[in-house]
A and B are shown apart, each in its own frame.
Chain A
Amino acid sequence: MQDDNREARYRVLWPLARIDIPAPVAAQGLPDLSGKTVAELWDNIFRGDVAYAQLREHLRARYPGIRFVPFSEFGNIHGPRQRDILDALPGRLREHGVDAVISGIGA
C-alpha cells in the first residue's frame, strides 16, 4: 500500500474551451399587434398545427387587422432542409412583410 502522505499530486488543465459568441442583434418589441403581420414557424411536431389555429383566433379577437403568414409558407424549420430554410428565412419574412414571429414547438 502506498503511503497516503507520499501520494502523487496532479496539476490539471481546464478541460473546456473558450466560449466564442458573436454580438447579438436586438430586435425592438411590438406593444400593439393591431394591423401587424405575424409569421408562424413550425417544426411539424407536438400539435403545433392545432396550437397555431387556436392562437390565430385568440389574437384576431384582441388585435384588429392582425394578419398571419401560416407555417405552411415556410416549410419544416427542423426538417431535412432546415439549413436552407433558415438561410432563406430573412428574405422570406421580408417578402411577406412580417412584423413579428412565433416559432415552435420544442427547444
Chain B
Amino acid sequence: MNDQGTFWLPPAHSTVAAETDALFYFIYWISVLLFVGVVAATLFFFIRYRRRKSPDYTINPHNNTLEITWTVIPTILVFVVFIWGFRGYINLSIAPKDALEIKVTAQKWFWSFDYPAGATTVNELVVPVGKPVKLLASSQDVIHCFYVPEFRVKRDVLPNRYTILWFEATAVGDYQIFCAEYCGTKHSEMLAKVRVVTDVEYNAWLDANANIGAGLAPEEFGAKLYTGKACVTCHSVDGKPGTGPTFLGVFGHEVQLADGSKIVVDENYVRESILQPQAKVVAGYQPVMPTFQGILKDREIDALIAYIKTLKK
C-alpha cells in the first residue's frame, strides 16, 4: 500500500486504490518506453541523416512485416490494459453487500450526508476505517461529481437518479472531497472532508450526533451549525457581502427585498429564508440559495436564529 504518495499519485487510502495505481504505473512505464523510443529515433535520424548530396533510395517504403508488427504489438498491449482497467472498474462499481449505507446530497455548493441512525452532517463525511461504505448520491439541482483522490473514487451526482459509489478506507485521517463536475459560480469551493475514524469512535460519534447540541446554549449550538451546515460559505458574520447578505447586524433591522418591498428581519423571516430561500430575496442578491428543508431540524433552526441574534454591530 502506498501510504506516502509517489511523485505522480497521492497517498492511497482505500482498498481499491492499489489496483488502480498498479495499472497506472503499468501504462506509465509502457508510455515512457514508447515515448523515449520515438523521440530518440527521431533525434538520431535527424543527426545521422542530415541532408546529403546523394541520399540512399534503396529502402523499400513498403514493408508489411514491419507494419503488422507495430500494429499487433500495441494492440496486444492495449488489450491487456483494457482487461485490467475493466476488472478494476467492475470492482469499483459493485459494492459489497454488507456495506454501510450513507446518503449523499449535493447542491450548489455544498454536500450533505445522512447516516442510518438519523444524524446528518454538512461538508463532512464521517466513516469508520476498514468497513465498506456505500454512498447513495443524488443532486438537488445540476450535475455534481463526488471525488476523493486518496480513495481513487469518483462518481457523477445527478438530479434525476441515484448513483452509487463505494469505498473502504484503510487508514484513519482526514481526506479531501472535491466536486469534479463543473456546477457554477462556487464550483471551486464545493469542498468537503472525509473523516475516517476507528469503529469505536464512529459509533460514539453516531450516538453523540443523534442528539447533537445537547448541553450547549442555543447560540453556541447555532455558532457550530453556522460552520457545520455551511452557512459560512455564503453569509459572513463580519459585515462583508458574499454570495448572500452578511448576518452581522441584520436581526431586528429592515432590509429591502428584490421586489422593492421592505421587511423586518425577525424569527419568521429567518426561518422562511432557510426553508424557502427564494420566497423573499434581499435586493442585490441572486436567488441561488438552496433549501435546507429536511437538512435542518426545528431545534437547529432555532439555534441558528439565536446565534444570528447575537451578531450585533
> Does A associate with B in a complex?
no
